[in-house]
Amino acid sequence: MDHVKLIPITDLHRWERNPRLHPDTNIAQLCASLREFGLARLPVLATWPGQTEGRIIAGNGITAALKRMHEADPAHPPQGIDPGSPWMIPVRPRTFDSQLAAEKYGLVDNWSTEASHDDPAMILPILQELQAFGDDLTGLFLPESEISAMMDPVGVEDVRWKEFDETVGAGAPPGKEIKCPHCGETFTK
User: What pLDDT is attached to residue 9?
Assistant: 93
Burial class (CB in 10 A: 0-12, 13-18, 19+), 19: exposed
User: What pLDDT is attached to residue 58?
Assistant: 92
Min mean pLDDT across 68-72, 122-126, 134-138, 159-163 is at 159-163
Residues 6+ apart with CB under 8 A from 128: 151
Rounded Cα gap, residues 59 and 110, in angstroms: 9
pLDDT of 107 above 60: yes
pLDDT of 119 above 90: no
